Structure 1
Amino acid sequence: MAISLPKFHPSSLIYQHPFIFIITISFLCNFTTAETHSFGRIISPSTLGLNKPQKLSHLRFYFHDIVDGPNQSAFRVAAAPSTNNSPTGFGAVVVMDDALTELPEMGSKVVGRAQGMYALASRSEVGLLMVLNFAFTEGKYNGSNLSVLGRNAANSAVREMPVVGGSGLFRFANGYAQARTHHSTTVEDVVEYNVFVFHY
């Protein structure tokens, strides 16, 4: 007489022993996580000095954007086919390395450089996309940077742009920069910047 044995199916083990199923899934998830995230780890903020209260700093300086002449510090590096016919300069991209000074006069103390680029990104007004670093070279801020990314409606009396980060004394910085045109000629724009940043 032949004995009929029930057919074995692996899923029956899961239903009869859910604990084994949970252990197996947990092991596989941990193994996968460890493999795909081995380059990162969670650390305590205090290891980077982030257990201190944030400070709010106010910096004021003048930005000299010189677009022509022997001291030129801003150069157009790209343009759209229609840029020269656009009343707003739409499509132009300018790279800059502009002096930042303590006072509006170019001969005053240089405290850093504005290095980056701006693109004329509006058809209806002179609207700039600003992507730049304020690289400071003076006093306790020497070697520290603030990064700005935002819209600059150049003909407005006051323009506000976000400060999105920083380095050196400005690690983990965030805040905003206010720009006001001090004076403007066909060769140079001098802009007063008031920058307010939280940092540690």
Structure 2
Amino acid sequence: MTVVRAPNSTSDALAFGAIAVVDDILQEGEDENSTLIGRCQGLVAEVGLDGSRETLQNFVFTDGKYNGSTLAVYGKHVSATKMETLVIGGTGLFRMTKGYTIGIPLLITDSKVIYEFDVYVWHMEMKDD
């Protein structure tokens, strides 16, 4: 959902200067019947005249071993290409985490975008409070 758009911008939902809020599903696979494991929630801002975007997102896990944990992901990408983003932290089982993600677009249409993410993290096991 676009929440801010630059004055005199085009009708494109994410034209330069636009900011969008996302709350998308995270599934184990690309099939619509794949297991739902969480949500991808955050902000996307169109920051480059070349169409590049800044993203600040949380992968919020709602099922399985990582239920209740989150990964905070930040980076810049162009939607139609492979993207690499930083894992800048996490909560729950991902406390003291750092790493990166590689996202590969599997499907991009006007109404649907599907990315495959490989997530590589290093974290220190912490005792519960």
- TM above 0.5, yes or no, is yes
Structure 1 stretches of 5 or more lacking a match?
1-74
Displacement of 1:142: 0.2
1:149 is displaced (CA, Å) by 1.2
Among 107, 118, 121, which residue is 1:194 paired with? 118
Q: 2:60 is matched with which residue?
A: 135
Counterpart code for 1:99: I
Q: How does 1:20-31 map to 2 (within 5 A)?
A: none
The one-letter code sitting in structure 2 at the alignment partner of 1:129 is: E
Aligned to 2:92: 168
Could you tell me the TM-score, scaled by structure 1's length?
0.59
**Distance (Å, rounded) in 2 between the aligned partners of 1:82 and 1:172:** 43
| Equivalent in the alignment of 2:127 | none
Q: RCO greater where, 1 or 2, for CA within 8 Å and sep 6 or more?
A: 1
TM-score, normalised to structure 2, is 0.90
| Per-residue deviation, residues 83-116 of structure 1 (Å, max 9, x unmatched) | 3167x71111110110001110222210010011
Q: Are 1:147 and 2:72 an aligned pair?
A: yes
Structure number having the greater helix percentage: 1
More strand by share: 2
Over the aligned positions, Cα root-mean-square deviation in angstroms equals 1.4
Moved over 4 A (4+): none
Q: What are structure 2's unaligned runs of at least 5 residues?
A: 125-129
**Residue type at the aligned position of 1:120:** E
Q: How does 1:1-200 map to 2 (within 5 A)?
A: 75-84=1-10, 89-124=15-50, 126-156=51-81, 158-200=82-124
